[in-house]
Structure 1
Amino acid sequence: MAEKTINPVLKQVLELGPTVAFFLIYLRIKDDTFIFGGTEYTGFIVAALIFVPILLAAMAALWFLTGKLSRMQIFTAFMVIFFGGLTAWFNDERFFKMKTTIVYGFMATILGIGLLRGQSYLQYVMDEFLPMKPEGWMIFTRRLTFMFIALAVANELIWRTQSTDLWVKLETFAFPAVLFVFLWVQIIGLQKYLIEDPATSEE
């Protein structure tokens, strides 16, 4: 299916909506317990399980409307399904919390492998949207690799030492916000490496 244009606001809703929905559902049922098949589940685990079909529905809508899903979106969906299943099977919320660590760790590992080979895998993904000189991409990739490592470590420390309430809030809002600000600061700081569009520079 060819890639199609989509309203940017709708795209953001479909990409961020499932996480916000998980947060709101969790707030609503966090103090409740549910019994399925004779097993008692906490509100957190039920919210995590509800999150799975919501995420899949949003991704299906994105694919239908744009004709494309990124590898990262597919990987994240797989991780949510896999760890959501483990969470339900073992009735243990730790599996769902570990998912975030593994996702960030995986991204750091992939970028790190590229760096060891003298390549920026980030450039392969973003070069079309952010034309930049190779040295700029290598700097950007190194910094983002360390950021993913820091986020993975932070997630481990938080879910192991803090309350579920705090983890849910940080997972929903703080981690994405920190990553967004980090990316924005990097793009601003790497302006000298950006490649101008010839058509734009001639105007």
Structure 2
Amino acid sequence: MSDHAANKPLKFIVDFGPLIVFFVAYKMAGLMSATLALIIATVLALGIGYAATRRVALMPLITAVVVVIFGGLTLWLQDKTFIKMKPTIVQGIFALILFGGLLFKRPTLQYVMSDALKLTDTGWRQLTLRFALFFTFMAVLNEIVWRNVSEDLWIDFKVFGIFGLTILFTLSQMPLMKRHMIEPADQG
């Protein structure tokens, strides 16, 4: 079994474990308990990921910091608004990082994904711009959803909607990625 294959279950736990814990805790005990469970699960997942790889990826780190801050504010002030804004803040930060990278002519997405994907410079710029626009859209969408639907519906959107839309968006970028893919022979 390769290292990459061995890390897939760990990556799944680190990436999706906190979200699963949040959803189950919400169904069992409500949003405040789910928020506490999310904070604990996120910190644990970050620690497990670090223990296994001896590094912390930027996106999970940003997410963890925002979870701890906004989850902590939710619990401390007993105000659900903060945890509902968390996806907006995370998506907004990702968008700003990507737009900033483009502004400084350093497509940030390339640094995050270059181990898994080899693209031309044009491909990286286009993909980074598209993801920056997508994260901006998702931040706005979360604001619209949490302010206009029931808490139960927002939870479903947070757990399933954001994930589903992200998968669909990523899949829709496959033609761009294929068009700008650098083949192994082209790299040398």
**What TM-score results when the alignment is normalised by the length of structure 2?**
0.91
Corresponding residue SS for 1:190: helix
Matched residue type, 1:7: N
Q: Quick check: which one's helix share is greater?
A: 2
Alpha-carbon deviations, 1:139-179, whole Å to 9, x = none?
Answer: 11111111001100000001111111011111111101211
Any gaps of 5 or more consecutive residues in structure 1?
A: 30-42
How far did 1:199 drift?
8.8
RMSD of aligned alpha carbons:
2.0
How far did 1:116 drift?
2.2
Give the corresponding residue for 1:174: 161
Give the corresponding residue for 1:88: 75
Matched residue type, 1:174: G
Within 5 Å, which residues of 2 pair with 1:100-115? 100-115=87-102
Give the corresponding residue for 1:192: 179
**1:44 and 2:59 aligned:** no
For 2:136 and 2:81, the matched residues in 1 are separated by 19
**What TM-score results when the alignment is normalised by the length of structure 1?**
0.84
Any gaps of 5 or more consecutive residues in structure 2?
A: none
For 2:12 and 2:133, the matched residues in 1 are separated by 26
For 1:10 and 1:84, the matched residues in 2 are separated by 24
State the structure with more CA Rg: 1
Give the corresponding residue for 2:103: 116
Deviant stretches of 4+, over 6 Å? none
For 1:189 and 1:94, the matched residues in 2 are separated by 37
Within 5 Å, which residues of 2 pair with 1:50-69? 50-69=37-56
For 1:115 and 1:14, the matched residues in 2 are separated by 28
Assess if the C-alpha contact under 8 Å between 2:127 and 2:176 holds in 1: no
**1:9 and 2:9 aligned:** yes
Identical counterparts, % of pairs: 35
Alpha-carbon deviations, 1:86-132, whole Å to 9, x = none?
Answer: 10111100001111101101111111122223331111222232111
Alpha-carbon deviations, 1:24-72, whole Å to 9, x = none?
Answer: 110112xxxxxxxxxxxxx211210122112211221221122222011
Q: Between Structure 1 and Structure 2, how many residues are aligned?
A: 185
For 1:152 and 1:10, the matched residues in 2 are separated by 28
Give the corresponding residue for 1:33: none
How far did 1:194 drift?
0.5
Matched residue type, 1:19: L
